[in-house]
Amino acid sequence: MAKKKETNVPSEWSYFVETDEIDDKPRRYSIAANEEERALLAKRLDVVSVDALEAKLEAVRKKGNMVVHVSGVLKARITQLCVVTAVPVLSIIEEEFEGWFANPADAVSFAKARRDKQIEAGQNELPVLNEADDPEPIIEGKIDLGELTTQYLSLFIDPYPRAEGAEYGGGDAESQKSPEIRPNPFAALAAWKDKQGGGES
């Protein structure tokens, strides 16, 4: 997952929570993106539309621990275009995810400190740290649950959606990505709507 931006400027879909209110008793949140937010997310995620997006999350901080652990389940309906036929394809996504957050000035894990020393010593090919050992920063005392959900949603989206029964006529998935093979998605969508009699009058 991409690291969080270093500011609390709202993203396409933001839901900020104050970390001071999170302790060893789990706090639960239920969030959902509205129509305007989903339209902005569709542009960011490069899909035709985000038809629905919600998440149920739980945040907890263990006693004596500066790290906040967030876990949850996201549910989404995404419309994309088939990479073979360019007709709309509806994807239903329901996935679990989790994240860890800490104030960098207050919490540095032993694993991260050891890795930093190895980097300083010039060691190469070091293993990637688990996110629990390298938490994302808490910015201005807040965590953006909307942005966290969006980042994980981007990982769950199928990069090569296909309509049922659609088969490549030749080449591989990479070749289908070239402009000569794959039509402009919005032009293709408009053409498909016209064929279905659903275009604007």
188: CB partners within 8 A, 6+ apart: 81, 86, 87
Contact of 165 with 35, CB cutoff 8 Å = no
Domain ranges for the chain: 16-105+136-194
Residue 94, strand partner residues: 75
Say yes or no to pLDDT of 163 above 60.
Answer: yes
CA separation for the pair 159, 105 (Å, rounded)? 38
Over residues 22-36, the mean pLDDT reads 96
pTM (2 d.p.): 0.70
Our CA dihedral for 34, 55, 59, 104, rounded to 10 degrees, sits at -70
Lateral strand order in the sheet of 49-61: 27-32, 49-61, 68-81, 88-102, 136-137
pLDDT tens for residues 82-133? Answer: 999 999 999 999 999 999 999 876 645 444 444 455 456 665 554 444 556 6
CA separation for the pair 151, 140 (Å, rounded)? 20
Residue with tokens 């900020």: 16
